[in-house]
Amino acid sequence: MHPAPSVIIFTVLSGLGFGFLAWLGLGLPAVTGWTAFFAYLIGFALAVGGLLSATFHLGNPQRSLLAFTQWRSSWLSREAWLSVLALVFMGVHGFAAVFFDITLAPIGVTGALLCVATVYATAMIYAQLATVPRWNHWLTPLHLVSLSLAGGAILAGQGFGAVLLLAIAGLVQSLYWIFGDRRFSERGHTMETATGLGERGKVRLFEPPHTGTNYLLKEMVFTVGRKHAHKLRIIAFALNCVLPIVLIVLMPASLPVVALAGIAFLIGTFASRWLFFAEAEHVVGLYYGKR
């Protein structure tokens, strides 16, 4: 799949933002006053900024409000509603913490659950697609949610909790790559199944379906070199898992350490999310002769 920058920015920033807001909703850390103001400002900036960036991938961004109309059947629509509810609950929780120096635990916990549910809904947009075997797996939502909570734990300065979640996220990320590499072949997709001509025998491509490029070739038959993918996996794993753990474990807890670990995690997650899209093989590629 073509790794569109707007969608990468959307999934990474919104995931990190909602992950951080989830920890704030649980009162970890329990901040009030100006500290709460800046903490919620960062969380909302990441979450809302990520959501807004997704509209740049739409052909008609002004129609984005229509996403709210299909919540019964669409994970995209459910994500839209969950994100609004999460932001409302966390907005009330943050308002009380900033201006009244109090924490409204029931509202905060509800908001935290809605934040996690929002990231899960985002993941299910991709996990539901049977036409993309690499995504169509239970590891996909676990992959996105674990990274969201791990990144949020870093920003929330959770120390041991951040290390534990980073280790879990790193393990899930590795399993996602291992199982994902063989998902397409395990599904048994071939030129025969793609064209529906398998009963007639072996199928080969006589001519390309199109003489020039088209939308499908641009968006769904993207190819990334195996060598480059391997390097990016190493970079992603080192930056969004290993380096933050080393920084948190070996250095005393401080704002600069949180900032360094957060920046490393963010860069590594951008690399990981680029691969999430670039390595996802759509079955339509078989129709164009890709094996």
Task: Give the mean pLDDT per block of 10 residues along the chain (291 residues).
Answer: 88 97 96 96 97 81 79 93 97 96 95 98 96 94 98 97 98 96 86 78 75 71 76 96 97 94 97 94 78 61
Quote the pLDDT of residue 26: 97
Quote the pLDDT of residue 190: 79
Quote the pLDDT of residue 98: 96
Pair 99, 222 in one domain: no
Pair 189, 108 in one domain: no
Pair 108, 195 in one domain: no
Quote the pLDDT of residue 226: 67
Rounded to whole angstroms, the Cα distance separating 244 from 119 reads 22
Pair 121, 171 in one domain: no
Quote the pLDDT of residue 291: 61
Q: What is the number of structural domains in the chain?
A: 2
Q: Is residue 150 part of a domain?
A: no
**Angle formed at CA 132 by CA 126 and CA 138, multiple of 5 degrees:** 55
The range of the structural domain enclosing residue 284 comes to 157-291
pTM for the predicted model, two decimal places? 0.92
Q: Is residue 44 part of a domain?
A: yes
Q: Is the dihedral of CA 280, 81, 267, 61 positive or negative?
A: positive
Rounded to whole angstroms, the Cα distance separating 176 from 167 reads 14
Quote the pLDDT of residue 289: 66
Quote the pLDDT of residue 225: 63
Quote the pLDDT of residue 213: 74
Q: Is the dihedral of CA 125, 185, 147, 269 positive or negative?
A: negative
